[in-house]
Structure 1
Amino acid sequence: MIHTRYELAPSAISGFPIFIESIGHHEDQEKMVRPDGFTYFHWLQTYEGEGEFTIEDKTYRLTKGAGVLLYPDVAHTYFAITERWCTQYITFGGSNVDIILRTLNIEQSAYFSWEEHSPLHMTITNIIEKLVNNNNELYYSSYDASSDLYYFFMQLKQHGQMNNRTSIQRHIVQLQPVLDWLEIHYADPNVGLEQMATVLKLTPRQMNTLFQTAFHVSPYAYLIRLRLRKSKEMLLHERDITITQIASHVGFRDVSHFVASFRKQMELTPEKFRLMN
């Protein structure tokens, strides 16, 4: 039984809002029963083979491309259902973990799956390789650990399908035709939801659901943000053009709406933004 485990030194975790407590690779996972749960947050994923994972009263089959995120102190059991079950895990904590996970809409223990070529499959391996290449985990700094853990959260949110829901990445792929279309037509003040939905061959309601899931904003709010981004580029690189002209060039019907939208997002007017840059 080969079990590679790295426990980070106290100096690598103290004082950081998120930290890795331990990380490892298990070539032949043994059965684990924890009626009182685990002290830290715990992520376990299948690398090869298959296992069964029970969280309180819910049971999941962990195949390659699947994992479970456990909140602390949650009862769980897992064991191999193939002759050999290879797993990888990471335990972590920190004062800001709850906040970050809730921001990502991961508010409780959950099952995740991902597509075959997703970078999620290699995320834990890549962290372990950093430790191996340094020959000693003490050389893996607290900054490295915190940064890699945050990157893992982002990969999980982008590529993972939580409790069999569609991943954000897949929603973005579905939206790509209209995102590309908006890059060309954002300056047209007549662009509306019906046109955008027609590009996707969806109803406005279906399109709104995709935008809310992928970007947490409505299609209209996404369009306004795109127009404001284009306006900032013009403010910085075309300084001879007036604010009124810029508003028109990026699709606003009147300058007052442009200034109000810009101030709401940037907390300063377009004139002040231009002067400060």
Structure 2
Amino acid sequence: MLYQFHSKEFSQTLPIQLWMFGANHLQEPVRRPQGVPYFQWFYCVKGQGELILDEQRSIITKGQGFLIYPDQEHIYQAVTNNWTLHIIAFNGPLCSDILALLQMGESGAYHFSDGSIFEQHIQKLLWLYENRSSDQTLSYSKECYDFLLDLSRCITRTHEFTYSHENPFVLKVISWLEENYARPISLNELAETVNLTKDYMCALFKKNTGETIIQCLTSIRIGHAQQFLIQYPEKKVIDVAQMCGFDSPSYFGKTFKNIVGMTPERYRKNG
């Protein structure tokens, strides 16, 4: 389950501030060519996934996690269908300095000698969320700082990266799809962008990734839909469908269920 916060919920600006957190989140595929405007820490509860940063891949299993800095291109996605993560995201004017001092100066995969640390802080955040007080901004900030202090004592950087087979052509296609997923697009338009014929482009993409461009686009759209269903509980499912490039609500519902295994309404309720 994801818990998203907004700036209007905070009464003051602090050196480090909670942005969102997630507890036992069944992770959907994420491809972000421009990154996000906040820091993200992840811990693997179960299953197996992969992290791709700077065209390098690392496998993430139970007892491991990863850190992603703001505005950094990244991809992470499940290798097994039960890849489940805890997530804590934060930002603030002193985050970079604090992380550097705590030996977390760069994005990447990390091994945890004590996985209970992440679990303990997730439970504390859940408690704070369920017992909101007038000084919640300060409480969340203190918890983020305590989390980072505790984490620094039980992590070591994992260096066993292997080069990602996703070549610049594939990354360019995925980046374009990620930037344009919310609107109607055509393969002809994409072919012009990458300066190839449509047939050759499609064949080359399928050869390198094992999936079609349309399958990739659908995965991107559904991934964003999963995020938006939780992030914007006030929006109707039909509105989320349109935000993600689906003109037909029925097709969106069918596609969502085929990929996620449940309807958008059930996913939102479970999240």
* Deviation for aligned residue 1:132: 4.8
Is 2:31 the partner of 1:36?
no
Match of 1:45 in 2: 43
Match of 1:126 in 2: 123
Q: Which has more radius of gyration?
A: 1
Match of 1:84 in 2: 82
* Deviation for aligned residue 1:28: 2.0
Counterpart Cα distance in 2 of 1:61 and 1:101: 23
Q: Are the counterparts in 2 of residues 12 and 145 from structure 1 also a CA contact under 8 Å? A: no
Letter of the 1:62 partner, please give it. Answer: I
Letter of the 1:74 partner, please give it. Answer: Q
Letter of the 1:130 partner, please give it. Answer: W
Letter of the 2:125 partner, please give it. Answer: I
Counterpart Cα distance in 2 of 1:126 and 1:164: 30
- TM-score by length of structure 2 reads 0.53
Counterpart Cα distance in 2 of 1:164 and 1:119: 23
What is the CA RMSD across the aligned residues, in angstroms?
2.3
Counterpart Cα distance in 1 of 2:65 and 2:77: 13
Q: Are the counterparts in 2 of residues 71 and 108 from structure 1 also a CA contact under 8 Å? A: yes
Counterpart Cα distance in 2 of 1:24 and 1:105: 24
Counterpart Cα distance in 1 of 2:103 and 2:11: 25
* Deviation for aligned residue 1:133: 3.4
Alignment of 1:166-245 (within 5 A): none
Counterpart Cα distance in 2 of 1:140 and 1:78: 34
Q: Are the counterparts in 2 of residues 28 and 84 from structure 1 also a CA contact under 8 Å? A: yes
Shift in CA distance, 138/59, structure 1 to aligned 2, threshold 3 Å: farther
Unaligned runs of 5+ in 2: 161-271
* 3-state SS of paired residue (1:84): coil
Q: Are the counterparts in 1 of residues 52 and 75 from structure 2 also a CA contact under 8 Å? A: yes
Counterpart Cα distance in 1 of 2:123 and 2:10: 18
Shift in CA distance, 49/9, structure 1 to aligned 2, threshold 3 Å: same
* 3-state SS of paired residue (1:151): helix
Q: Are the counterparts in 1 of residues 44 and 84 from structure 2 also a CA contact under 8 Å? A: yes
Shift in CA distance, 65/29, structure 1 to aligned 2, threshold 3 Å: same
Alignment of 1:152-163 (within 5 A): 152-163=147-158
Match of 2:143 in 1: 148
Alignment of 1:60-139 (within 5 A): 60-115=58-113, 117-134=114-131
Letter of the 1:54 partner, please give it. Answer: I
* Deviation for aligned residue 1:140: 6.8
Counterpart Cα distance in 1 of 2:135 and 2:61: 30
Counterpart Cα distance in 1 of 2:34 and 2:133: 30
Counterpart Cα distance in 2 of 1:140 and 1:33: 35
Q: Are the counterparts in 2 of residues 50 and 64 from structure 1 also a CA contact under 8 Å? A: yes
* Deviation for aligned residue 1:6: 3.4
Counterpart Cα distance in 1 of 2:96 and 2:119: 24
* 3-state SS of paired residue (1:38): coil
Letter of the 1:91 partner, please give it. Answer: A
Shift in CA distance, 58/140, structure 1 to aligned 2, threshold 3 Å: farther
* 3-state SS of paired residue (2:20): strand
Counterpart Cα distance in 2 of 1:130 and 1:46: 21
Match of 2:4 in 1: 6
* 3-state SS of paired residue (1:100): helix
Letter of the 1:15 partner, please give it. Answer: T
Counterpart Cα distance in 1 of 2:118 and 2:40: 16
Q: Deviations over 1:41-72 (max 9, x none)?
A: 11122112111111122211111111111111
Match of 1:222 in 2: none
* 3-state SS of paired residue (1:106): coil
* Deviation for aligned residue 1:89: 1.0
* 3-state SS of paired residue (2:43): strand
The percentage of aligned residue pairs carrying the same residue is 25
* 3-state SS of paired residue (1:54): strand
Unaligned runs of 5+ in 1: 166-277
* Deviation for aligned residue 1:124: 4.0
* Deviation for aligned residue 1:74: 0.6
Q: Deviations over 1:2-50 (max 9, x none)?
A: x332325534373201101111125421101001111111112211211
Counterpart Cα distance in 2 of 1:27 and 1:21: 16
Q: Deviations over 1:71-95 (max 9, x none)?
A: 1111111111112111121211111
